[in-house]
Each structure stands twice: as C-alpha cells, then as structure tokens.
Amino acid sequence: MSNSPESSRSPLSLLLILILLSMGTYLIAPAIFMAIGVEVLGITVEEFMSQIGMEDPEPSLQLTLVIIQAGASILSFILVPAFFIKKYESSSLSEYFHSKSLAINATVITLGLTLALMVVNSLLIEWNLSFEFPDAVAATFDHLEEQGRLMTEFLTDFYSLPYFLLVMIVVAVVPAIGEELLFRGLIQKYLHSIWGNPHVAIWATAFFFSAFHLQFYGFFPRMALGAFFGYLFYFSGNLWYASIAHLINNGFTLLMIYLFQLGMVEYDVESTETLSIWVALGFVIIGGILFVLFKKQFHITGNLKNE
C-alpha cells in the first residue's frame, strides 16, 4: 500500500469522512433492522427489549437479535469501508488482506501470542473492575455495563449447535474481519499519516476501539487488546494476522462458554477468579518471547510505510 491515500483530500478529511460513514451507518442500521425484525415477529420494540435478560429466552428473539447485529456489523464495518476504499483510495480489500503471503510459522505464533495475552489481560480486567468513578459517571457506566451483560447473556444462551455456530460467525468472524479493516487497516493508517508516529497511531486507535464498545469497566484490557492487534498489523503489514488474533480472542471465549453450558468443561470463562501473579508473569515472559519471534518472521520493520 502506498504511504498516502490515493486521493487529493487530506488524511484528516478522509478520516472524518470514514468515521461519519461507518459510525453513522452503525447508529442507524440497527434501528432499521430492528424495525424490520419486530414487524416480522409481530411484536413491538418495547416487547422485544423486555425479553432481554429473561431466563430461557425465546429462540426466535435470540435469532432476530443475532441477525440484527450481523446486518449492522457487516454493513458498517465491511461494506462501508469497502465502498470507502474503492471510492477514495481507488484500491481494493486485497490491498489490506494478503492471504497468499500468510506464513504458517507467523500464524502459529499469533495463536500463542493471543492466548498468552488473554491470560495476562485477566489481571488487567480485574484491576479495571476495581475502578471507582464519581457517582454521576458511575451510574451511567453501571447502566451501560449491565445492558452489555444482559445482551451478552441473551445472545450466548446457546440452545443448539447451529445457533452456536451462527453466533460464532456474527460475534467472532465478522468483527475479526470488519473491525480490523476499519480500525487497524484504515483509522490506524490515517492517524499515522496525520501524526507521523506509528506508535501514537496504534495506541490512539486502540483507545478509540475500546471506547467504541462502551464498556468502561473493561476499557483498559480492550485497549491493550487493540494495541496488540495494531502491532501485529504494523510488524507484518498484513491485516490477516490481526484478524486471526481477533478471531481467536472472541471465538475461544464463545467456545468456552458453549462447552461450559454443555457441562464439558468446569471452568467458567466469564468468572472473575483471581489469577496468580506468578502465572501471569510466566505468560508475560512467554508472550515476550513469542512477540520477538513474530517480529523476526518479517524482514520489513517499517510496515506502516507500506500501507
């Protein structure tokens, strides 16, 4: 990829256009899909929303919510960015995803790195949960957190294998492609063009990525995750590695929830059990070694210049 977008517009103006198109679509699309969904079900929006958080949710309502989320995510994070790339960059998605250049060694290392970070990040999650905010702010954050928890429980009450696979596609596969294309592939690139510093661009993008999810008691763990995805892209120059890591992070969590519900594993991945500092330190060391090995897989160390 070229150092600057193939457009006469400035990187800042292109970034603003991208954010308006993608985020604007993400705000509008769910309402449109929801209106269609409740019309098909023959209920009101209020009746639909009142079911979220109830025990033994109705499968048809779960399926409707999954389809709504799928439609909004695909439209906002894949189709809109693809349109943006074609219109404003005269390029294509293949410029961001180089499937032919995926290396087996780097892919395996990415798997190990992601699992190591997930373990270490559990300490960051515990630390972030201990934050105390001012009452007015805490009330808002608590409400958002509770809504997110209820929504997650509603979606992940897996009543069948096909439903689990559908949720896996919508919650793991689609974000792994779409969110990485939008945040790492485009936003990170434009921030680097504006500021000229790849590390500032990576962490600023990670900040926006975490803020977008509106879960402030998990803000710093998700920001660390976003930075991790950003560095995978930076050192490899290939979005597939960040997407694979994103897929592993989301997909492994969903798989563990499903196996726990089936009684096939005893560990509840959603629990807040305290992790030993020595275990975390061990995974920090493992992660550090793997990260060095990942960097050595690529001869180019300034891959943001190739975006």
Average pLDDT, the chain: 86
Render the burial of 47-57: b for 16+ CB within 10 Å, e for the rest. Answer: ebeeebeeeeb
Residues 64-90 pLDDT 10s: 889 999 999 999 999 999 999 989 987
Q: Which residue has the higher pLDDT, 97 or 68?
A: 68
pLDDT of residue 301: 43
155 neighbors 180 (Cβ within 8 angstroms): no
Is pLDDT above 50 for 15?
yes
pLDDT of residue 307: 42
Q: Which residue has the higher pLDDT, 59 or 92?
A: 59
53 neighbors 156 (Cβ within 8 angstroms): no
Q: Once rounded to an integer, what is the mean pLDDT over residues 114-129? A: 86
CA distance 241 to 170: 19
Q: Once rounded to an integer, what is the mean pLDDT over residues 27-54? A: 84
Q: For the whole model, what pTM was predicted?
A: 0.89
Position 273 confidence tier, pLDDT thresholds 50, 70, 90: low
Burial of 19 (0-12, 13-18, 19+ CB in 10 A): middle
Position 116 confidence tier, pLDDT thresholds 50, 70, 90: very high
Is pLDDT above 80 for 105?
yes
Position 142 confidence tier, pLDDT thresholds 50, 70, 90: confident
Residues 241-254 pLDDT 10s: 999 999 999 999 99
Residues 197-229 pLDDT 10s: 999 999 999 999 998 887 787 889 999 999 999
CA distance 223 to 161: 32
- Alpha carbons within 13 A on the beta-carbon side of 153: 14
Is pLDDT above 50 for 4?
no
Q: In the chain, where are the structural domains located?
A: 97-306
